[in-house]
Amino acid sequence: MNNNDAAVVSLQEWQGWGTTSPVPAMVTQIAEDLKLLEKDFDSQMKFGRAGGKLQGNIGQQEDKKHRATYKALPDSEEKLKFFSARQIACRVIGSKGYLCQKCWLPMEEDCMCSQITSCLLFPGIRFWLYMHPKDFLRQNNTGKLLWQIFGVDAATLCLFGIPEHEQIMWNSLKLAGRSNVWCLYPNKNAVLESVENAFGQEPDANNEVTSEKV
């Protein structure tokens, strides 16, 4: 990409969606390929809905191209990486200017940022939200509330199939040690347990802060 071309997905835009990572290399490549296709057709990309399927001639050509690329990949791991990156690139491009980057809801109609109150997470706890690419930027995804409330440094997004994300998460979990890592999965039959009981300590009054709007 030359200096006259702005990044299709800039670092600022990418991190605005709730991640602290650099833009994944394959997401960048696919986004640039889509932009070149748009230039070749001299027509703006149109999606069926925010982050949905590409429409029109561009959509048909991109579909043929990505299927050929997918088929040519040597193994299932490479296919997974390509699938994940393509899903994410399309969702980011298709949602630009339509979804609020913080709450992932339509900016002009349903943005709920003014109704969300932020607070500090209990000391010593950090969340990693391991998310399937099909759930990324979905309006009904409630996992996004973790970093909306606690911040991206306390609740970190890891996208499945994106090596840069997964490596950072696994390294962090290894550093924490097996005894300090818990896997939480939503289950209506799960036994409820308070943070105080789970970690054997009471909240520190010095760590309590006044809530503020995000």
What per-residue confidence (pLDDT) applies to 205?
Answer: 43
What one-character-per-residue DSSP string does 3-49 give?
TTS--SS-HHHHHHTS--SPPPHHHHHHHHHHHHHHHHHTS---BSS
Q: Where does 54-158 have alpha helices with state H?
A: 56-72, 76-95, 145-150
pLDDT of residue 7: 77
**Tell me, what's the pLDDT at 61?**
82
Q: Residue 16 and residue 158: Cα distance in Å, rounded? A: 14
DSSP lists the bridge partners of residue 54 as 47
- Tens-binned pLDDT, residue by residue, of the chain (214 aa): 444 456 789 999 999 999 999 999 999 999 999 888 888 877 777 776 655 677 777 778 888 888 899 899 999 999 999 999 999 999 999 898 899 999 999 998 899 999 999 999 888 899 999 999 999 999 999 999 999 999 998 999 999 999 999 999 999 999 999 889 988 887 778 777 666 666 555 544 444 433 333 3
pLDDT score, position 113? 92
Domain ranges in the chain are 11-95, 113-213
Work out whether strand 127-131 and strand 155-159 pair parallel, antiparallel, or are unpaired.
parallel
Residue 60's pLDDT is what?
82
